[in-house]
Structure 1
Amino acid sequence: MTENIEMDFAVIDPQPAHPAWPAMTLDEARAILCAHGAFFEMETVAVRGVPTRTWANQCPNLGALARRARDQFAERELVVFESEHITYDGFFRAAAAVARHLREAGVGKGDRIAIAMRNLPEWIPIFFGITALGAIAVPLNAWWTGGELVYGLANSGSKILICDEERWRVIAPHLGELPDLCEIWVARANGAELHSPARALESLIGQPTAYGALPDGDFPAVAVEPDDDATIFYTSGTTGSPKGALGTHRNILTISLTASYNAHRAALRRGEGTPPTDARTHLLVIPLFHATGCHATLMNTVMAGNRLVLMRKWDPLEAMRLIERERIFSTGGVPTIAWQLIEHPERHRFDLSSLAAVSYGGAPSAPELVQRIGGDLNAFASNGWGMTETSGTVTLHSAEDYAQRPDSCGPPVAVADLRIMSPEGDRELPTGEVGELWAAGPQIVKGYWRNPAATAATFVNGWVRTGDLARIDAEGFCYIVDRAKDMIIRGGENIYSTEVENILYGHPGVIDAALVGIPHRILGEVPGAIVHLADGAAATEADLQEWVRARIAAFKVPVSILFVPELLPRNANGKILKGDLKALFEPR
């Protein structure tokens, strides 16, 4: 592996369908791109004892990626946020300063450092500073309530929390529950009262606009190997508490090359040469505390020397202003974003001609969306499939392939493998049959943090059992036909039913409850609840919504609650028949 990688990184420009599409098969394109001596050359290494194909030319660790970006793109802008502009040189200086201050605070390899903040420029050097030191970054969901943040901090055993002022206000009342938390660094405190163990982040590394004036130092000398632990991202499952997916440097850096591989593969299938390579600007509207934002977007950006524009929060009108002002080339994350841009009544007021690509995943999308993006936005659409346990991207789908197969999530990238297994997991099913989707590759995480039982049930000899039902066609394109039972994905945010149901059961008037996904054209689906009250109990839909809202993040609150006079229908094993309950919402 090498730090100084010379490579054309690109995203495909929109093109009309090639008359001879495809010019070559997936296997032929892969053979060219991954040939010996080519940039996407692969090598087989042992990852936790399993022979695994990896990119031969990816950086060995996240510190090496940051150095490479500084060396090659120092004067380019990496991130823009409102009036703040940070170059790659400024980013590296700040990341190195974070690492030095962490070392002074006694942080070493394997220590967990949590990040809880909205998308701010500080997030990026903080993440690289933590991981370059060999410590483990623990990005926490910034929408979580105080109790949820306490769970993430306690479960991970984080010794330092780096947060913004909003998260400081949420966590401050709970400090007594976190004896292992030694320090809190608060960004943009804006006059908020900070008390021990909190102090202002700016006192350590200054304001983002002044990062370029920080000392031109390097990261502390620490030997960090590709398979060393790097991240814990919490994933919502269908049962129990959130699980921390323990990822390595190899996992996340594998994703740093997947978008470029997809771009080159699509260009070859179109019959073209190397795609355009000028620097692109991406409007980042999904959280960096998700694998899609951190791994699939940030890592590809830093590897390619591209530019990110951040938003304080998603707003389609503001997004269109930014697309016009910053000449945004690409955006996306979940289908919601594309629909809101397409259908906004003021879209005609803005010059969106620079927008060439809209990508998404993480939630169901209507097959018509790819055509609407091409017709209404004059851009090409791309989607893909992955999960926190796969560090994000496993399949990618774009250009003519997507237009011709709008119900597919695409074929796997070259280093990944997919198989369709029987429900028992004991045999692989023939091409075209529906079964459980399993995935393998260097991006599969090590397992679940401090949860050996869940790890053993989910990870099998290098493969992850996804719980999704899927089929794979003869050409290798994957089709997700259903997701893991009881999982609801609202605009890209995972909601596990058991958590919400348990809160409903905690209400004194509720004796039976179930949460199901209600189809939603923009968000993919939203949570709806069916409730049976105890005799003599009284509660309204608004009462129960407020009950839930007071206890968990707002995006998990049922948008609709139906009351039924009988206990909910169950099968012979006592499990609620949720499939039967979804039909109750159709009249609404």
Structure 2
Amino acid sequence: MSNPDLPPGWPAMSIAQAHALLTQPGSPLETEELTIRGVPTKVWKNTPPSLRAVVEHARSHGEKIYLVYEDERVSYEAFFRATARLAQAMADQGVTKGDRVAVIMRNLPEWVAAFYAAAALGAVVTPLNAWWTGPELEYGLTDSGTKLAVVDAERYERLAEHIPNCPDLVRVYVSRCRGDEEFAHPLVAKLEDLIGAPNDWKNLPDAQLPPAEVGPEDDATICYTSGTTGKPKGALATNRAVNTAVMTGAAAGARSFLRRGEAPPAPDPNAPQRSSLISVPLFHVTGNMAILNPTTFAGGKLVMMYKWDPIRAFELIEREKIQAAGGVPTIAWQLIEHPARKNYDLSSLESVAYGGAPSAPELVRRLRETFPKSQPGQGWGMTETCATVTSNGAEDYINRPDSCGPAAAVAELQIRDPEDGRTVLPTGAVGELWSFGPMNCKAYWNKPEATAQTFIDGWVRTGDLARLDEEGFCFIIDRAKDMLIRGGENIYCVEVENVLYDHPAVMDAAVVGKPHRTLGEEPAAVVTLKPGAAATEAELRAFVAERLAAFKVPVEILIRHETLPRNPNGKILKSELKELFVPAQANA
């Protein structure tokens, strides 16, 4: 049966045909094959060669506003001057190519300047999780062997007593210091003494980046995995891997036009500047590789949120005429469901995209109803793939709302047998998802055993259970380690969660395993209801029972008033939720 929401004659061409047309010789999205670490790999021919090149190109956007944070507004030229000045200070402290420089702060303009200043020197930028405690930050600094760190005042308070335990550190710059605060430690200095406050960057003298030779295969970043189990691992990425997303996002948008039977619009240097709301952390690959870096290269305006708050998001969308927002599905749901939404003019929104966590198919329909001008979209990627590998948007997303989309034109996906990791399974079969392409990281920092298990001949073994359809669209079924086995029956958590999301009262849902003496485990759920909505546990269990087999129905559903706990990447911390279902005697 055809979908009445799709235009007649859609699709005009297959995914393979669209990719072939987009990547043909002479096109902006042309691809070529290179040998990377001994493996033939398809790459975007016109990808910026390095993060340093992105900084140099950014200056060409001149006086366009680049960063907006509260009442601070920073132009591209002002950003470049601050970045060049900070890069010179780093060089004066002995930072050279290959040294690690940590950036530890919430979403602030200084984060962006520190990130690009270090990258311009060829240093390996190490964005550490701003939610980490002092001991966790110490782990990140010592594990990476960080030489210089740029932190905000709140992070410094957590870190101060741990600095003596970080022998590789030679300097810590602290931003947003309070009053006339002085630092007793000889390695610590105020960032403002170097570059001033963001609103004053425009008054800095003209400056150039210190000389450095930085190429595509040089190391660029170490981003730490979520660390929901065990110690976080630092995923080491090259400049090519980090910059791949600059082209991948543009290609996904162009593909939608071709699938519709239309020519993608040519770049217009005189078009109004695009603006994006960044509400996800910059220390996560979604924030810095899928949003920050492409926006910087394209000359867009980035409106920064210190932390997510739906009311503040509404105010900023209205004030700044923001066109793109999103991050994770929970943010999209709150943009739709919050009762205050009607009080704000959100008509500028053209795109609400998300990733990092499964989303219910109903979300597509609700976004189109709520924001008729806006194209919903989602994608899939992970820290080890520098964010985006697949993208799904426009009519493709309407037609396959439970898919994260097909792989980018430079990427390849395979479904393999989870047991042997070698056998490629047929179309439609559920197995472990493997990812290949120039966006993949090369290793885990100083962890050869973990590297050997995950990074294999250019492929990343993701740990996700998924299937591919006949056209290459990917359907994430679950994390392999989160799949429940109830008396020998496999239960994919996301399947049960999507049914719960279909209930009109449910805002957020997570399914976890509840220990059982004979069955091993049974499904249990934790849900958050939408503002003003009501539902009982019995009602929700009956709702699931009408739609899924009896063995998949949660034996217990806890209804919470607060949002479900998440890590900074937007993933629900199921390890915490599982504790809610541990028998009381086990905790005695």
Question: Secondary structure of 1:346's match?
Answer: helix
- What does residue 70 of structure 1 align with? 59
Q: Report the Cα distance in structure 1 between the residues aligned to 2:529 and 2:285, rounded to whole angstroms.
A: 21
Match of 2:7 in 1: 18
User: Alpha-carbon deviation of 1:306?
Assistant: 0.9
Aligned-partner Cα distance in 2 for 1:53–1:69: 26
1:33 match: 22
Deviations 1:464-490 (A, max 9, x none): 000101110001100011113149999
The 1-side partners of 2:415 and 2:580 are apart by 36
Check if 1:564 corresponds to 2:558. Answer: no
Q: Structure 1: how far apart are the matches of 2:147 and 2:465?
A: 39
The aligned amino acid for 2:208 is: D
Q: Aligned-pair distance for 1:70?
A: 1.1
Q: How far apart in 1 are the matches of 2:280 and 2:522?
A: 25
| 1:332 corresponds to which of 318, 326, 330 | 326
1:136-157, Cα deviation, whole Å (9 max, x unpaired): 1100010111111111111011
- Cα distance between partner residues in 2 of 1:467 and 1:331: 28
1:564 alignment partner AA: P
2:356 to 350, 357, 362: 362
Whether the 8 Å contact between 1:258 and 1:393 is mirrored in structure 2 is yes
Structure 2: distance between partners of 1:130 and 1:146: 23
Determine if contact 1:339/1:522 at 8 Å carries over to the other structure: no
Change (3 A) 1:563 1:451: closer
How far did residue 195 of structure 1 move? 2.4
Task: Report the equivalent of 2:464.
Answer: 468
Corresponding position of 2:303? 309
Residue 402 (1) aligns with residue 420 (2): no
Q: Distance in 2 between matches of 1:251 and 1:406?
A: 28
Does the Cα contact within 8 Å between 1:370 and 1:380 map onto a contact in 2? no
Q: Deviations over 1:77-121 (max 9, x none)?
A: 111111111111111111111111111000111111111100001
Identify if the C-alpha distance between structure 1 residues 339 and 238 changes in structure 2 by more than 3 Å, giving closer, same or farther: closer
Contact 1:114 1:161 in 2 (8 A): yes
Secondary structure of the residue aligned to 1:485 is helix
SS of equivalent to 2:257: helix
Please say if residues 5 and 398 of structure 2, whose CA atoms lie closer than 8 Å, have aligned partners that are also in contact: no
Matched with 2:178 is 190
Q: Which residue of 1 aligns with 2:281?
A: 287
Q: Is the 8 A contact 2:58 2:296 kept in 1?
A: yes
Scaled by the length of structure 1, the TM-score of the pair is: 0.82
Contact map agreement 1:416 1:439 (CA 8 A) in 2: yes
Query: Aligned equivalents of 1:476 and 1:521: distance in 2?
Result: 34
1:232-273 C-alpha deviation (Å, 9 max, x unpaired):
000035643100000110001111111111010001111222
Structure 2 residue identity aligned to 1:428: V
Q: CA deviation at 1:207?
A: 1.4
How far residue 206 of structure 1 moved from its aligned partner, in angstroms, is: 1.4
Partner in structure 2 of residue 419 of structure 1: 414
Alignment partner, residue 439 of structure 1: 435
SS in 1 for 2:464: strand
- Matched to 2:173, the amino acid is W
Distance 1:395 1:143 in 2: 28
User: By how many angstroms is 1:194 displaced?
Assistant: 2.3
User: Partner of 2:545 in structure 1?
Assistant: none
Contact 1:366–1:521, Cα closer than 8 Å, also in 2: no
Task: Verify: 1:349 aligned to 2:343, yes or no.
Answer: yes
Which residue in the other structure is 2:546 paired with? none
Q: 1:227 to 1:522 in 2, by over 3 A?
A: farther
Contact 2:402 2:475 in 1 (8 A): yes
Distance (whole Å) between structure 2 residues aligned to residue 190 and residue 152 of structure 1: 25
Measured against aligned partners, the alpha-carbon deviations of 1:156-212 in whole angstroms (never above 9, x if no partner) come to 111211000110111112223223222110011122442222111011111111222
Q: Hey, what does 1:384 align to over in structure 2?
A: 379
1:215 Cα deviation from its structure 2 partner: 2.8
* 1:229 aligned partner: 219
Structure-2 separation of matches of 1:323 and 1:565? 46
The answer to whether the Cα contact below 8 Å between 2:275 and 2:321 also exists between their aligned partners in 1 is yes
Residue type of the alignment partner of 1:86: V
For 2:560, the equivalent position in structure 1 comes to none
Assess if the C-alpha contact under 8 Å between 1:340 and 1:522 holds in 2: no
Name the residue aligned to 2:249.
259
- Equivalent residue for 2:194? 204
Provide the rounded CA distance (Å) in 2 between the counterparts of 1:138 and 1:157: 10
Q: Distance in 2 between matches of 1:103 and 1:364?
A: 43
Instruction: Tell me by how many angstroms 1:337 deviates.
Output: 0.6
SS of 1:230 mapped into structure 2: strand
Paired amino acid for 2:220? A
Shift of 1:16: 6.8
3-state SS in 2 of match to 1:381: strand
Shift of 1:522: 8.2
> Contact 1:416–1:441 at 8 Å: present in 2 too?
yes
Task: Answer whether contact 1:50 1:462 (CA < 8 A) is retained.
Answer: yes
TM-aligned CA deviation for residue 58 of structure 1? 1.1
CA 1:518 to 1:252, structure 2 compared with 1: closer, same or farther past 3 Å? Answer: farther
> Does the 8 Å contact 1:238/1:484 carry over to 2?
no
Letter of the structure 1 residue corresponding to residue 453 of structure 2: A
Contact kept, 8 Å, 2:357 with 2:571, in 1: the verdict is no
Taking a change above 3 Å as real, the CA distance of residues 172 and 376 of structure 1, as seen in their structure-2 partners, is: same
TM-score by length of 2: 0.82
Gaps of 5+ in 2: 484-492, 498-509, 513-520, 531-564
Indicate the residue corresponding to 2:451 in structure 1.
455
Q: For residues 389-439 of structure 1, what are the alpha-carbon distances to aligned partners after superposition, in whole Å with 9 as ceiling and x for unaligned?
A: 000000000001001101100001101000111121121111111111000
Q: Secondary structure at the match of 1:175?
A: helix
For 1:110, give the aligned amino acid: G
The CA distance in 2 between the partners of 1:96 and 1:555, in whole Å, is 38
- Tell me the alpha carbon deviations over residues 336-388 of structure 1, each in whole angstroms, 9 at most, x when there is no partner: 11111111111111111101110001011111001000001222210000000
Correspondent of 1:371 among 365, 370, 384: 365
Amino acid at match of 2:91: R
* CA–CA separation in structure 2 for the residues paired with 1:40 and 1:173: 49
1:519 is displaced (CA, Å) by 5.2
CA deviations 1:36-92 (Å, max 9, x no partner) are 100111111111111111110111111111111212x11211111111111111111
Change (3 A) 1:522 1:483: farther
* Structure 1, unpaired ranges of 5+: 1-14, 498-513, 524-547, 569-588
Structure 1 window deviating more from structure 2 (286-295 vs 252-261): it is 252-261
Summarize deviations over 1:538-560 as a string: whole Å, max 9, x none: xxxxxxxxxx99xxx99858356
Q: Distance in 1 between matches of 2:580 and 2:523?
A: 10
CA distance in 1, matches of 2:523, 2:47: 42
Q: Aligned partner of 1:114: which letter? A: A
C-alpha contact (below 8 Å) 2:356/2:571 kept by paired residues: no
473 and 319 in structure 1: CA distance in 2 versus 1, 3 angstrom threshold: same
1:50 aligns with 2:35: no
- Does structure 2 conserve the Cα–Cα contact (< 8 Å) formed by 1:238 and 1:485? no
Instruction: State the 1:304 CA deviation.
Output: 1.4
State the partner residue of 1:128.
116
Measured in 2, the distance between the counterparts of 1:339 and 1:22 equals 28
The Cα of 1:521 is off from its aligned counterpart by 6.1
Any idea what SS the aligned residue of 1:439 has? Answer: strand
Alignment correspondent of 2:518? none
In 2: Cα distance, 1:85 partner to 1:298 partner:
16
Deviates more, 1:188-197 or 1:383-392: 188-197
SS at match of 1:286: coil
Distance of aligned partners of 1:141 and 1:32 in 2 relative to their CA distance in 1, 3 Å threshold? same
C-alpha displacement at 1:333, in angstroms? 0.5
Deviates most, 254-263 or 214-223: 214-223
Q: 1:94 to 1:441 in 2, by over 3 A?
A: same
What letter is aligned with 2:144? S
